[in-house]
Amino acid sequence: MLASLLAFTVAAALLTMAPGLDTALVLRTAAVEGPRRAYAAALGIGAGCFVWGMLAVAGLGVVLLASELAYRALQMAGALYLGWLGLKLIFGPRAAADAAASSAAPRGGSAWAWFGRGLMTNLLNPKAGLFYVTFMPQFIPADANVFLFGAALVLIHDVEGILWFTLLIAATRPLAAWLRRPAVTLWLDRATGGLFLAFGAKLALDQRA
C-alpha cells in the first residue's frame, strides 16, 4: 500500500505542476488581486477537486463515463462559464486608476467571490471527474478498502495542489509592484482572458476517447 501511495504522490505532483487553467487563474489572481484572493481561488480549486474526487470514490463519477448526455451537458456548461470569464477579462479589464490604487483598497470582489470562481472552474469541468475515475483506480491495491484508500489519494492530490499554488503565489510577491502597473495589469487580464477562451473552446470541442 505504501508503494501505491508513493507512486500516486509522484504522478499526481507532476500532473499538478503541468501548466493549465488552474495555474493561469491563480497566477493572474496573485499578480493583480493580491495573495489573499489568490489563496481563496486556490482553495476553491482545491474544493472543486475534492468534490470530484469524492464523487469518483463513491462511484458517482462513473455516470460521466456511462452517460454521454450528462457528460456533454456539464462540458458545455463549463465551456460557457470559461468563455464568460474570458470575455469579461478581455473586454472589461481593470481601469488604470483601479490598478494603481492602494493595496488596501478593495479590488475585484471579495475573497469568497474568488473562492467561487476557483470552485466553479473545476465543478463545471467534466475532465476533472474523468481524471479521478480513470487515473485513481490503477493506484488502489486489490486488498485495500476502496473508499478509504481512494479518499486518501484525493486528499494527497488536494494537498499537493494547495502547496503548488502556495509556491506560485509566493513567487509573484517580489514582482508585485511591477505586476500591478496599469499596462501590465491590462496585459495580464487580456492574456488570461484569451487563455480562458482557449480552454473553454478546447473543453467544448473535446471528444471522449
Q: Which three cell numbers stand for residue 36?
A: 489573499
Its sign, for the CA torsion 55, 84, 118, 137, is positive
Q: What is the pLDDT of residue 176?
A: 66
**Closest by CA position to 182, among listed 90, 88, 108, 99:** 99
Mind listing the pLDDT tens digit of every residue in the chain (209 residues)? Answer: 888 899 889 888 877 886 678 888 898 888 888 899 999 999 999 999 999 999 888 886 676 667 777 778 877 887 888 888 788 878 875 543 233 333 333 355 788 999 999 999 888 887 787 778 777 877 888 788 888 888 999 999 999 999 999 998 998 887 766 766 777 777 877 887 888 788 888 878 877 65
Domain boundaries, the chain: 2-8+60-100+107-205
Question: HEC states along 17-54?
Answer: HCCCHHHHHHHHHHHHCCHHHHHHHHHHHHHHHHHHHH
pLDDT value of residue 46: 94
pLDDT at 61: 63
153, 158, 160, 166 alpha-carbon torsion, rounded to 10°:
-170
The pLDDT of residue 156: 95
Q: Identify the CA nearest to 21 among candidates 96, 95, 101, 131.
A: 131
Instruction: Measure the CA–CA gap between 21 and 61, rounded to whole angstroms.
Output: 21
Residue 145, pLDDT score: 85
